[in-house]
Structure 1
Amino acid sequence: MAGTDLYDDIGTGYALGRRTDPRWMTAILDALGGARTIANVGAGTGSYEPDDRTVVALEPSTEMIRQRPPEVGPAVRAVAEALPLRDHAVDAALAVLTVHHWTDWRAGLAELRRIAPRRVVLAYDTSLHTEFWFVREYVPEIADLERTRPSAADIAGELGADSVTPLPLPWDFVDGVFPAYWRRPDAYLDPRVRRACSALAQTDPAAVDRGVRRLRADLDSGRWHDDHRDLLDLDQWDAGFRLVVSHT
């Protein structure tokens, strides 16, 4: 995922909040196609690693590696920009919600191209994240962080993507990515939920606390539900997540 220092600092308890959602897992498996050997770059706790193929997990953070359950296997400490694999070492390179944390994302994507003929990257449209109601109305400082990150379109362009597929968020999504609770705003009052979201963990705590207090007040008064009544009838919502696939 990110550099070692970042996730050694904010990654504690990450595995509790970031679980595999089977709907995204299905999309990722489809994108991997017939690949039998996979390098999972920025593997984290292994949430989206296939269990029926050979996976080489690569992750810089010892804290994230520590939280990997036994069934997904161990990980090798490595950064995306310098992968310890030979050219064309695997059938596919997988990178799930990690590119925006890399120190040099273009160098990391070049490494994906080097080690595998097929690249599957789950990224997101940063502009849509900045428009998320939690950012727009409660913690606008998050938008400053998002603007520094590569967007899905940037990543697709760099890889020369063959396809870019939207992955909407179902209302009952089980992986606690930042916008996952778009229809369940009470969840953001829980510090455990906030700790599993890197955008919140990397934003000024005072700004986050201020926004959470305002959200709690709006939930208590009913204002949030009045203002966002249109969301309550939706089964899914496009938060900007995109599955980028390129192959040679």
Structure 2
Amino acid sequence: MTIYNSIGKVYSNSRLPDLRIVNSLINLLNLPKKSIIADIGAGTGGYSRAIAQQGYSVYAVEPSSVMRSQSVEHARVKYFAGYAEDIPLANASVDGVICILAMHHFSDLSKAVREMHRISKKGALVFLTFDPRLCEKLWLVDYFPVYRDYDFRVFPPINDVVELIPNYTQRTVEIYILKLPHDLTDMFAASGWRRPEIYLNPEVRANISALALADADEVEKGVIRLQEDLETGKWNVKYGEIRNLSEIDVGYRFLCAKR
């Protein structure tokens, strides 16, 4: 049982793969078409399908039955029930591995990293993760303080992860900044940095773990304040300058671990 069995019931409605992230993952993997890629913590399989559509085969590994039940079949995607710490794939059975905004949910990151290394041949392990310590406070925190509290509690510092991976895989890790565009289709936590209206949507909030797992009364207070500030123009006065930006760095990073 995972937390997404309770909070991931409509995950596929707002967590749609963003093609720019898909292309970044493929570029970092640097594998020929028809290679086999393992997607660990694949969720509903959105990114698995998007990568398969680019000509790759994908093994999508996800422990939550609720998440897997929302997956859409694709001829080049095979789904597996399993945890990152005990991946149900054979040694050296894939050419590369991706893990998208999932490592903070692993019970044992070191064991998960060892497992990803075990199943991969010579290809890279590519992670997309987040470190709130790498950015200035986003306006979202003024309405939902629980968001920042959650992030600092569950997301390990990037430097700690970068040190951990070589210790268990003898791989070299490179860090790449993901600047968030203003029109992301994957509505993860900070994706609405220029679209505050999306946080008024309960379905979007349900698919952001920091808000879905927080005290419902505290979240509702933030929603009411945000709605009032948007209606009165107060939000625009305080934060409107952010609408002049086309992209922003708020701490999302790709990690590419190579042999």
TM-score range, shorter chain: over 0.9
- Structure 1 runs of 4+ with >3 Å offset: none
User: Do structure 1's residue 199 and structure 2's residue 210 form an aligned pair?
Assistant: yes
Q: Note the residue ranges of structure 2 that are not aligned, 5 or more in a row.
A: 167-171
- For residue 155 of structure 1, report the CA deviation from its aligned partner: 2.2
Deviations 1:140-170 (A, max 9, x none): 1222221222233332222234311111111
Partner of 1:111: 115
Say whether the 8 Å CA contact 2:132–2:250 is kept in structure 1. no
Deviations 1:197-243 (A, max 9, x none): 11111111111111111111111221111111220100011121111
User: Do structure 1's residue 25 and structure 2's residue 30 form an aligned pair?
Assistant: no
Alignment-mate amino acid for residue 77 of structure 1: A
Partner of 2:239: 228
Say whether the 8 Å CA contact 1:122–1:242 is kept in structure 2. yes
Partner of 1:64: 67
Alignment-mate amino acid for residue 194 of structure 2: R
TM-score by length of 1: 0.93
The alignment yields a C-alpha RMSD, in angstroms, of: 1.7
Say whether the 8 Å CA contact 2:146–2:210 is kept in structure 1. no
TM-score by length of 2: 0.89
Report 1:68-79 matches (<5 A): 68-71=71-74, 73-79=77-83
Partner of 2:6: 9
Distance 2:28 2:146 in 1: 34
Partner of 2:145: 140
- For residue 130 of structure 1, report the CA deviation from its aligned partner: 8.1
Say whether the 8 Å CA contact 1:126–1:152 is kept in structure 2. no
Q: Note the residue ranges of structure 1 that are not aligned, 5 or more in a row.
A: none
- Cα distance change of structure 1 residues 48 and 141 upon mapping to structure 2, 3 Å threshold: same
Deviates more, 1:60-69 or 1:194-203: 194-203
Partner of 2:173: 162
SS of residue matched to 1:207: helix
Alignment-mate amino acid for residue 206 of structure 1: D
Partner of 2:43: 44
Partner of 2:159: 153
- For residue 196 of structure 1, report the CA deviation from its aligned partner: 1.4
Alignment-mate amino acid for residue 65 of structure 1: R
